[in-house]
Structure 1
């Protein structure tokens, strides 16, 4: 029988059912654990003592972990014999997770210069497990680093005591001459476990200047005649004239 995958939030209780076990004593069953807390298989039974505050067998044969932690990731197996003599095995593969705080963009740029590399900002996510990933978005679409116009410098740190992760992602872009004048950037955190929703930062909208900026206003070049429209409560540029891709 294959393992049943279980995900549990760090710090929350977890109950694993021992299938086929009689609901009341006397019971013939045995739990075996192989986790980050064990060097070999740890054996627990209804007749034995609980494992400190880590785990104990409940009266119905289920296994209770009062507050799961990163060290509890691993394999849990129960073998039970019913009163009629039928043996049933239960196998679980446990993984834990912690949802980090909402990611933030720190040290954001106030403006960008066309044709040269610019630092947009650094996206930071703190307190997650597993590590997960950070992604930058431009006008709602994921930015793919290409080493030319878009580059990302990433750093992952793990807290020595809690084991939780902090992620940093620094975005550098080189706006194209003749491109959008008011690009909107945001960042999202994608959890390391599936079926968990992504978390998003607030968006930042930056002004792009041409390289020949002078005086009090932008010099956007001869190919960039542009009018501004207001749509859905947000100012967006609408290019008139030559379209640049």
Structure 2
């Protein structure tokens, strides 16, 4: 019927039963715990220890009569009795921590049951005050003060880093704790100040404080993080450029340092020249040349001894060919050809003539017409390539290198072949008429005509250009051969062919006939 509750189980304490109550709530103090049957009880009386050997009456209950309250002072209006004779004490406070005695008068005896009362209070809150914004590495700094207000007993505060307890070690961790007791309420306020020497790893660390009350769940403050500041210990110089870096390109140097806050100004050492860059960490070299190659450094303005360096190599590849453009020379002359290369590393040289790869650099000790063509020199060094070329034309009077004859594939004609060299392209003429063809390649011309001579004769081939003329002759005999026409007749009865062979072109007419068996 009563709203009061026994908050914690009772236990012996110096021979006394002890009851724990919560601050501000109603406390139920048991009487005899059923040791005497209710029907045997004549009078139940509650009193309390006022100290110095004095007692104070609270209330009394006689059999079959209502409870008579006699409490005065601080207990007036705060006490009542439960049906089981327990004392109900409302709005518990720290001054209630004393001995309350239940006196029971029964038919057989008078018995007293003293009960010791302890009042607990969870802290009103757990907050961190006087927080700092940043920590310097290696420098002991007060992070803040954790406060647990109005508790009983006084709260024990533990500092946490990433949810793990911090323990004072007299070096990087120092914790100072103090307790202040309110003179009116008697409640305790605990303050704990953490002094901490930060490390780089603490940049993202979360700090908090906690306490475990005697009654109730653990209390944890809100977490806090700090900016960790430290001086620059390492510096790095980075080079940003095309690969490969060639003449005409731009090169950007970037200086990075690990300090926090990071440096914002640097010195750039450019092959003996120092350039100060403020509010920036880059320097750009424009239009790099081979002279740009060398060692470059950057350093802190306020600490020049802390520096970083990088070597920059500008790749270059030059080719100088002694010949260029259109070169015109006479046959049998010599021609000097040299190639000179300048490169930042080993280079490879290759040659082509009319887009056909040559095994080696050409040499022209005695020019021939076949030396005419387009020459290209290619120099490569890694991804770099340079080319140079020239066109060579070898000129001179034509020379017939060969005059020959042969029978055509059908055997009915004669093919005369006149091969010559010369440049410009020589004109070819024959002493007889015939169908002709004449390809001209690398100063060589091959002229063919097809004829049907009716008698033995001498044929001449003449070649000529602006430098001269050459002529050669060849004897050609008449075409004495038969043109055979096959007249085919198949006799089904005989089962064989009967071809007739007869002469269609011959000085004397005669006919030859024979049979060819079918196959």
Query: When the two structures are superposed, what TM-score results if normalisation uses the length of structure 1?
Result: 0.73
Distance in 1 (alpha carbons) for counterparts of 2:201 and 2:84: 67
Equivalence for 2:100: 76
Q: Which has the larger Rg?
A: 2
Distance in 2 (alpha carbons) for counterparts of 1:82 and 1:218: 86
Equivalent runs, 1:36-47 vs 2, <5 Å:
40-44=54-58, 45-46=60-61
How many residue pairs were aligned?
215
Q: Is 2:90 the partner of 1:103?
A: no
- Indicate if the aligned counterparts of 1:21 and 1:61 stay in contact, CA closer than 8 A: no
Q: Tell me, what secondary structure is at the counterpart of 1:162?
A: coil
Per-residue deviation, 1:136: 0.7
Q: Deviations over 1:114-140 (max 9, x none)?
A: 111112111112222221221111111
- Indicate if the aligned counterparts of 1:21 and 1:27 stay in contact, CA closer than 8 A: no
Q: Tell me, what secondary structure is at the counterpart of 1:153?
A: strand
Q: Deviations over 1:209-236 (max 9, x none)?
A: 22349xx98517xxxxxxxxxxxxxxxx
Equivalence for 1:229: none
Equivalence for 1:200: 220
**Which of 53-62 and 125-134 deviates more?**
53-62
Equivalence for 1:13: 26
The 1:26/1:3 distance shift into structure 2, 3 A limit, reads closer
Q: Tell me, what secondary structure is at the counterpart of 1:71?
A: helix
From the two aligned structures, give the one with the greater strand fraction: 2
- Indicate if the aligned counterparts of 1:102 and 1:200 stay in contact, CA closer than 8 A: no
Distance in 1 (alpha carbons) for counterparts of 2:29 and 2:37: 15
The 1:175/1:80 distance shift into structure 2, 3 A limit, reads same
Query: When the two structures are superposed, what TM-score results if normalisation uses the length of structure 2?
Result: 0.37
Distance in 1 (alpha carbons) for counterparts of 2:138 and 2:183: 42
Equivalence for 1:28: 43
Q: 1:211 aligns with which of 205, 219, 231?
A: 231
The 1:165/1:188 distance shift into structure 2, 3 A limit, reads same
Per-residue deviation, 1:81: 4.4
Gapped runs of 5+ residues in structure 1? Answer: 221-245
Q: Deviations over 1:99-158 (max 9, x none)?
A: 222311122222211111112111112222221221111111111112221112222222
Per-residue deviation, 1:160: 2.3
